[in-house]
């Protein structure tokens, strides 16, 4: 089997949806500009040698429809020879694409692929434009197949006895860690500067336009406090514990990696960043979808021939504090190595982008910690009762 290596990886800053810094920026533009920035680091590389652009997206309709990946390839690479395919496994889409790319290269079906994800929750709402439920399925007693994510978070909190106080404390720590990471510039080498144009009415009542560059995640809030979090009402159940404050933020963003075969890496004299050691997806009851990583992580560890103690750093998507805490407790994970720079509660969760974003963050943090030849984990729950987990070996 051939070896596949990740040689580049970048992400945009993450904007809040639907009224954040990227509200007027199309998803395909965010993604194309990220890819363009990444490929500009290899000015002599013949982009026609890229076999595919694989883009994860959770809501591939509206502005994200028409096989957005192909449009991103055309816009980002500025050539017509590279195809593109859009992939949807909801919240794990961006990680799924990396696994697909690696598998294709390992099998000999490709030599070079761009993979990752992009999502604008400002452009396309959480459930899409016209969701159609199968009422025969609902009538047969499976209404939980269509439960909203907040309802599943409440179910996890109840079943795994996750208190409101613990959820709020977890949310606070997410913001504090993210704010510290920003103050220490721990994200600066992974974020692509994105220029945004905004139209507004000036003091003379005239339409005007201003441009600015976005280089900082918008989500972390300095005014977050336990008192403030405790004052928020539950939004999914009358006597519930899941609030807007201990849930992930709706977001906009893009993240991509460049993956090459070992032969190509050596030919171009490039230094690999990381390699994907294993990837697993798993199914769990849809009503408690948040525990998905509890099923996926052991599969990924077994596939890699590793144990929990071998993992040095973890990026666990914080869809909700309740499910994050349930995963940590059920698997006995070390909280000190999880989301060391904050998670989705503070930084945001741009659905199909998240898997790529967390991977890029993992590689960069392992670089800053000099974790050569150590293992890191990216994992998340996935809507309708799934989990996904990818184990990476950081190389350089």
DSSP letters, 127-167, are T-SS----HHHHHTT-GGGG--HHHHHHHHHHHTT--HHHH
Angle at 155 between CA 150 and CA 160, to 5 degrees: 125
Active site residue 142: no
The rounded distance, in Å, linking the Cα atoms of 198 and 211 is 6
The rounded distance, in Å, linking the Cα atoms of 195 and 213 is 4
What Cα–Cα distance (Å) separates residue 54 from each residue in 38, 45, 50, 148? 15, 19, 11, 28
Q: Choose, from 112, 175, 349, 353, the residue flagged as catalytic.
A: 349
Contact 241, 166 (CB under 8 A): no
Contact 292, 354 (CB under 8 A): no
Q: Choose, from 91, 112, 175, 353, the residue flagged as catalytic.
A: 91
Tokens 């989990």 sit on residue: 387
Contact 378, 355 (CB under 8 A): yes
Residue 320's SS3 state is strand
- Other beta carbons within 10 angstroms of residue 81's beta carbon come to 11
Active site residue 91: yes
- 330 CB-near residues (< 8 Å, 6+ apart): 160, 291, 294
- Other beta carbons within 10 angstroms of residue 85's beta carbon come to 15
Q: Choose, from 112, 175, 353, 381, the residue flagged as catalytic.
A: 381
| Range 321-348 burial, b when 16+ CB lie within 10 A, else e | bbbbbbbbeebebeeeebbbbbbbbbbb
The rounded distance, in Å, linking the Cα atoms of 227 and 244 is 14
Token pair in block for residue 134: 């199968």
**Phi, psi (degrees; rounded to nearest 5) at 249:** -90, 145
Question: If you compute the radius of gyration of the chain from its CA atoms, what whole number of angstroms results?
Answer: 20
Which residue numbers are catalytic? 91, 349, 381
């Amino acid at each position: 089997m051939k070896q596949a290596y990740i040689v580049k990886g970048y992400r945009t800053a993450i904007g809040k949806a639907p009224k954040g810094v990227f509200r007027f920026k199309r998803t395909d533009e965010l993604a194309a500009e990220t890819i363009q920035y990444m490929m500009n680091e290899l000015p002599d590389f013949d982009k026609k040698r890229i076999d595919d652009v694989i883009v994860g997206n959770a809501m591939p309709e509206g502005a994200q429809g028409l096989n957005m990946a192909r449009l991103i390839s055309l816009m980002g690479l500025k050539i017509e020879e590279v195809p593109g395919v859009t992939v949807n496994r909801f919240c794990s889409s961006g990680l799924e694409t990396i696994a697909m790319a690696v598998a294709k290269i390992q099998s000999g079906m490709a030599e070079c692929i761009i993979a990752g994800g992009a999502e604008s929750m400002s452009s396309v709402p959480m459930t899409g434009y016209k969701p159609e439920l199968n009422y025969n399925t609902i009538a047969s007693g499976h209404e939980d197949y269509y439960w909203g994510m907040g309802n599943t978070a409440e179910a996890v909190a109840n079943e795994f006895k996750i208190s409101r106080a613990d959820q709020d404390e977890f949310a606070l720590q997410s913001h504090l860690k993210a704010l510290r990471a920003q103050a220490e510039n721990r994200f600066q080498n992974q974020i692509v500067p994105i220029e945004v144009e905004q139209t507004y009415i000036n003091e003379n009542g005239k339409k005007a336009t201003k441009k600015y560059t976005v280089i900082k995640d918008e989500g972390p809030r300095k005014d977050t406090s336990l008192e403030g979090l405790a004052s928020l009402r539950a939004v999914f159940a009358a006597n519930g514990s899941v609030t807007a404050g201990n849930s992930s933020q709706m977001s906009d963003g893009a993240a991509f990696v460049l993956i090459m075969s070992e032969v190509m890496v050596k030919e171009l004299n490039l230094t690999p960043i990381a390699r994907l050691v294993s990837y697993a997806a798993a199914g769990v009851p849809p009503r408690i979808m948040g525990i998905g990583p509890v099923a996926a992580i052991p599969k990924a560890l077994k596939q890699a021939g590793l144990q929990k103690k071998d993992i040095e750093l973890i990026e666990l998507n914080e869809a909700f504090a309740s499910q994050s805490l349930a995963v940590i407790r059920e698997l006995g994970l070390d909280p000190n190595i999880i989301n060391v720079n904050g998670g989705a509660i503070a930084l945001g969760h741009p659905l199909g982008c998240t898997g790529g974003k967390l991977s890029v963050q993992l590689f960069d943090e392992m670089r800053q910690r000099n974790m050569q030849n150590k293992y890191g984990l990216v994992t998340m729950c996935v809507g309708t009762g799934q989990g996904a987990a990818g184990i990476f070996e950081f190389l350089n």
